[in-house]
């Protein structure tokens, strides 16, 4: 379960950020995930529920309350760039062929994101 490990890491990062701000509670995490990031949104939601409900984090830093925190996911669709047409396009499948000229694009502009965009603590 790749998503569980990822979520545990995110919880750790969020707890560190909360500690730095002198906060004791995590309310909301907002993540941006690209459709090419290899992360499944549903699996991530399940992992979030499991990880945040655990009162005893592995690293022993149990000072931050994560109970009742929520997860917001922003899913970014894949966008490629065709150098021949100088145009962006959204590929319809895993083969990134330009819909105008049919050339295979090697430039992925969006879709690989995996980032924490917002964190709400108090």
Please report, as ranges, the residues that interact with Zn ion according to CB under 5 A. 82, 84-85, 98, 100-101, 103
Burial 102-119 (b: 16+ CB within 10 A, else e): eeebeeeebbebbeeeeb
In the bound state with Zn ion, the residue whose beta carbon lies nearer, of 16 and 84, is: 84
Kindly state the smallest distance separating residue 109's Cβ from Zn ion, in Å: 14
In the bound state with Zn ion, the residue whose beta carbon lies nearer, of 49 and 104, is: 104
Kindly state the smallest distance separating residue 93's Cβ from Zn ion, in Å: 16
In the bound state with Zn ion, the residue whose beta carbon lies nearer, of 22 and 94, is: 94
Kindly state the smallest distance separating residue 35's Cβ from Zn ion, in Å: 20
């Amino acid at each position: 379960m790749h998503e569980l490990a990822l979520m545990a890491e995110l919880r750790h990062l969020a707890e560190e950020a909360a500690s730095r701000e002198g906060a004791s509670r995590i309310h909301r995490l907002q993540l941006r995930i690209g459709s090419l990031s290899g992360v499944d949104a549903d699996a991530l939601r399940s992992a979030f529920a499991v990880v945040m409900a655990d009162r005893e984090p592995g690293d022993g830093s149990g000072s931050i309350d994560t109970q009742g925190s929520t997860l917001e996911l922003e899913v970014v669709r894949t966008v490629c760039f065709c150098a021949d047409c100088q145009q962006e396009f959204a590929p319809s499948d895993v083969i990134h062929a330009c819909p105008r000229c049919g050339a295979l694009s090697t430039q992925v502009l969006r879709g690989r994101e995996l980032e924490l965009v917002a964190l709400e603590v108090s």
